[in-house]
Homo-oligomer: A and B are copies of this chain.
Amino acid sequence: MSARGFAQAEYEARLTRAQALMSKAGLGGLLLTTEPEIRYFTGFLTRFWESPSRPWFLIVPAAGDPVAVIPSIGAALMGRTWITDIRTWPAPRPGDDGVSLLAATLDEVAEGPVGIPSGPETHLRMPQADFARLRAKTARFLRDDAGITARLRAVKSGAEIDRIAHACRIAARAFARVPEIAAPGMPLSQVFRRFQMLLLEEGADWVPYLAGGAGPLGYADVISPADDRPLARGDVLMLDTGALWDGYFCDYDRNFAMGTPDPRVLSAHDRLLGAAQAGLEAAQPGARACDVHAAMARICGADEGAGRLGHGLGMQLTEGLSLTAADRTVLEPGMVITLEPGVETGGGNILVHEENVVIRQGGAQILSPWADTLARLA
């Protein structure tokens, strides 16, 4: 896995599937504004989304190729994708930040109502004031996209799975080197920095996500940034990463015992491994997300704080289905998910464990090298 980018056929296939669904939903086009949505149909990959200053738009018409309506600063990069119809304006231009151009282009290329991703996990990446202006300017009716964009992205192609697997292997090599960077006395913030360096050294393009925690009985939550408190003998250290390669994420964690762990940590970790194994076995095509959740929750208990025991994974750290009791999404081959059980250890602490798998015809296939024991350091 070293060649970056997809063949044009990959994008053409995505477009064909989108247009079939749009036809069924009675949509004349899709209007996309966020990084993963626009990248899904174009391959436009840049870290420039970190800047909120400029809006970006992609129109996927019911017939014909997508049309990019973007700030001129992005024209060169978009010109290197398969998109040929690229219309630009000199953003930022607060008086009319692409709104007139977008409205005119929508009216030209979308023959019918225009769908905007509006369901769970979506947002509209443009100022609300500009959205009101757009609605006033375009002749097209703007409505929800009937979940089309999310549905397409939920099932990954072979090329997408290869990238996630590559990101998982990078993280595996970095996790194997944690003994080089973590020891009693070292501040957690320093461990976080060094772990990101390991991920980069092992081949990650960048590291959009790292969380973790450390303590004798685990950690109070799994979303806090690191503080400068030093690791202590007897702590269990957890590192949970989302590292990126060619625009695709891994998302899994590992726990490390600093010396001899508390017996409650050992037994909690065993339950986590058992729950992950149960999730792996339950994650068959045709099973529902809630079935996988139930298989894991039977062993680890459904942790209220963490809310869910896994989720979809791909161009975003989390996307698509949730392994909760309420999610009835049916697993299909090509879906990539995380198995992320959590257990309480006492005193308000939890221990979590996470693996990544892809749903295949015969059952789930492991992407993150499966952990079979609690690693010991120091």
Contact = CB atoms under 8 A, between A and B. Distances in A.
Interface of A: 2, 4, 45-48, 50-53, 71-77, 90-95, 97, 116, 118-129, 144, 189, 192-194, 196-197, 200-201, 203-211, 220-228, 242, 304-308, 311, 316-319, 322, 324, 326-327, 348
A318 B319 CA distance: 26
Contact of A47 (B123, B225, B306, B348): B225
B127 A122 contact: yes
Nearest to A122: B127
A46 B225 contact: yes
Nearest to A226: B205
Contacts of A127: 118-123
Given A53-B121, A119-B129, A124-B124, 11 more contacts: A4-B228, A47-B211, A47-B223, A50-B242, A51-B209, A72-B304, A72-B305, A73-B306, A92-B121, A205-B226, A206-B210
Most buried by B among A72, A127, A304: A127
Contacts of A228: 2, 4
A221 B76 contact: yes
B221 A73 contact: yes
A221 B97 CA distance: 21
Contacts of A47: 208-211, 223, 225
B308 A92 contact: yes
Nearest to A247: B225
A113 to B, nearest CB: 14
Contacts of A90: 304, 307
A223 B126 contact: no
A105 to B, nearest CB: 20
Contacts of A326: 93-95
Contacts of A311: 53
A-B interface, 7 closest residue pairs, ranked by CB to CB distance from nearest: A48-B223, A118-B128, A76-B221, A51-B318, A118-B129, A52-B121, A50-B209
A322 B92 contact: yes
A76 B79 CA distance: 46
12 contacts: A46-B223, A47-B208, A50-B316, A51-B209, A52-B319, A53-B121, A53-B318, A72-B304, A74-B223, A93-B326, A118-B128, A197-B201
Nearest to A306: B73
Contacts of A227: 4
A244 to B, nearest CB: 10
Contacts of A91: 307
A311 B203 CA distance: 32
Contacts of A194: 200
Nearest to A350: B76
B209 A76 contact: no
Contact of A305 (B76, B192, B307): B76
B189 A196 contact: no
A319 B189 CA distance: 27
Contact of A123 (B52, B93, B222): B52
Contacts of A116: 128
A56 to B, nearest CB: 11
Contact of A223 (B77, B94, B189, B208): B77
Given A224-B77, A227-B4, A97 B122 contact: no
Contacts of A4: 227-228
Q: Most B CB atoms within 10 A — which of A75, A94, A116, A225?
A: A225
A224 B46 contact: yes
A71 B304 CA distance: 10
Contacts of A322: 53, 92
